[in-house]
Amino acid sequence: MKGFDVLKLALVATGLAAVFISGASAAETYNAPNIVENTIPKPLAKDAGNAENGRKIVINRKQGNCLACHAISSLDNQPFHGEVGPSLDGVAERYSDAEMRLIVVDPKQVFDGTIMPAFYKKEGLVRVNKKFKDKTILSAQQIEDVIAFLKAQ
């Protein structure tokens, strides 16, 4: 592996670690999502997603931290877009809301071997710090907000 590639991988790992170290979930009741044929068809929250709130989560290094791995053209004013994951431009043209919801909730259900974290999962995780045990990275509402933002890309 080239030195530059090792550096990029180290930066991504650091960004993902920042999500896990500082982002554990809001105080809400966790309801395991109902996965149907590689989708989560129903919204996780009772309120519709808010795209502006989703934008804030996507760029927040202590919440979604999506830019650690993904590029998003509408956020060109934000520094350090990643190149590890695919661009999120036009993601709603490639995936339905239900598919995007599962990808954000638990991407390993869709992409075997991905390093993307599960943002709304409590079971089956490994090496979770005690203070984050039984917590999700994002709340159900935050997941819906991120989906609303992604639909506009």
Domains in the chain: ranges and CATH = 3-151 (1.10.760.10)
For 68, which DSSP code? G
Distance linking the first and last C-alpha atoms of the chain = 33
Instruction: Find the length of the chain.
Output: 153
Residue environment code for 48-85, b if the CB has 16+ CB neighbours within 10 A, otherwise e: ebbbebbbbbbbbeebbbbbbbbbbeebeeeeebbebb
Identify the pLDDT of residue 81.
Answer: 94
Identify the pLDDT of residue 147.
Answer: 98
pTM reported for the whole predicted model = 0.81
Identify the pLDDT of residue 34.
Answer: 92
Residues 152, 39 contacting (CB under 8 angstroms)? no
Identify the pLDDT of residue 126.
Answer: 85
pLDDT per residue of the chain (153 residues) written in tens, 0 to 9: 455 454 444 444 444 444 444 444 445 688 889 999 999 999 999 999 999 999 999 999 999 999 999 999 999 999 999 999 999 999 999 999 999 999 999 999 999 999 999 999 998 888 888 888 889 999 999 999 999 999 999
Identify the pLDDT of residue 23.
Answer: 47
Rounded to whole angstroms, the Cα distance separating 88 from 150 reads 7
